[in-house]
Structure 1
């Protein structure tokens, strides 16, 4: 029963994380330069700060627009770092599976593999929630 409750709560948290991580965006608002410079799903630091001719926008002269400009850069970098953490945790899950497969029935090695997988899964859930939180904050402060 405890495993079922944990699995159901992970599914609910995961679905909420996915819905916040991938917000519904309109294609009319997107810039043709937004997809340039991406590696895997990592976006460049200037994502969302370009004009139609792919040059970087002027940050403006007032303090609010300059702060929004800087926050957009910071949130782009934080988002990329959190995605790299997610990739790393997936690697650790695969490593834990490898440890379990090569344990040859040794209970201590199999337990170490299970512990690695469980720790990485918790880390992945935290990384996904963090990416969702960064996207949520970015959309709410209007940068």
Structure 2
């Protein structure tokens, strides 16, 4: 396993701790029932990538491109809408495609804090929590993020 895979996993796990802490602070301890797998794992991957970039003095573009070059294109066939609750998905797409969906969410919301907004938002189902947290529909976002992922894959160098 590469240095990226081993040492960078610590910030990934710290990202999960942060998700949990934001949920607890908001008295929303059951957030995990509604947070899509792509956001849970993709958000943690986002912190992994940022940390690796910082620690290795790489630009975000350099690490973004490195990540894109090394992911399985099989995730093109797995829509985000299928990466819902707990479970594992083919090609580990909740991590890899989830990372690009998280990146797209940060870009769309213009804030890294958006990765924690859903865990702080109480509710009873994923679609309504997502809409309350971000102000737009989850299904529309997932389609846009799927298209963004396809664009990233088609333009990787």
Same fold at TM > 0.5:
no
Give the TM-score normalised by structure 2: 0.29
Q: Which has the larger radius of gyration?
A: 1
Structure having greater relative contact order (Cα 8 Å, sep ≥ 6): 2
Higher helix share: 2
